[in-house]
Amino acid sequence: MSTSQTPTSPDTPSISFEFFPPKTLGASARLWRSVERLAPLDPAFVSVTYGAGGATRERTMAAIMAIRDRARLNVAGHLTCVGASRQDVLHAAKIYRKLGCKRIVALRGDPPNDAVGNPTRFESHPDGFAGAADLVAGLAEMNHFDIWVAAYPEKHPEAPSLKADIEALKRKIDAGAHGAITQFFFENEAFYRFRDACAAAGITAPIVPGILPIENFKKLCNFAARCQARIPDWFAKAFQNAADQGTEDLLSLAIATEQCHDLVENGVEHLHLYTLNNPDLPYQICQALGVEPSPSRVAVSCG
């Protein structure tokens, strides 16, 4: 199943968005505001994240049902296998199927931190999947889902090398994944090198770049540190100057729009935007790319 819609012009990409399940009533309102704002852009799909070990299972399922019922969007559910038995993971997949989800983003998931907050190494559940490739194989046996996985243009933090990481991606594709969505990045050359290396390794499945609009530079630095995504040196000074002038959003919009335009000019047909449940920058980026709202695609208010 392709991610692509029919673009409005040859230079307009199809798009998708990622949301996370809310923890509070206020967060629920923020999520729904995001869905209402972005649904008219007619995304190819939207995805909803899923906590390790099913930590957000109920909230994830509730968010998926609301988005499908009220916004009539194609929803992809994330699914992780860390800290969970094979039976529990496949049970969650069966719930997705009952909810009408035909797409799953299959992830190993991050291992929990230790008692003092330091990250630990992944250890599979005694009765669980050995990792993402094993999870993909298990989901593929269900013969129901369009399975997507994660990719890392600057390599996964735990991978010994980019080559080893690409080999891990190929194992996921060979196990039954239909495509990959990347971790966010800001240097497109890293993505192009990664794309070429994947092709050289025999990976023919689509690799969709993940784009993170910079809502807050300090938060970005924390995200990037956890996943070891490189932040260009000039960002810090640029965002400090923008903060002094109250123009951070304009700078963020300019950075993301330029990045996306360059990706499209270099053959990218689909972009996946991480919204952090804030629709404003993603909406503006899409408009700058020529993605126009569709009058027929309107979310039903939850109010």
Q: Could you list the active site residues?
A: 18
CA distance 294 to 275: 20
HEC secondary structure over the chain: CCCCCCCCCCCCCEEEEEECCCCCHHHHHHHHHHHHHHHHHCCCEEEECCCHHHCCHHHHHHHHHHHHHHHCCCEEEEEECCCCCHHHHHHHHHHHHHHCCCEEEEECCCCCECCCCCECCCCCCCCCCCCHHHHHHHHHHHCCCEEEEEECCCCCCCCCCHHHHHHHHHHHHHHCCCEEEEEECCCHHHHHHHHHHHHHCCCCCCEEEEECCCCCHHHHHHHHHHHCCCCCCHHHHHHHHHHHHCCHHHHHHHHHHHHHHHHHHCCCCEEEEECCCCCHHHHHHHHHCCCCCCCCCCCCCCC
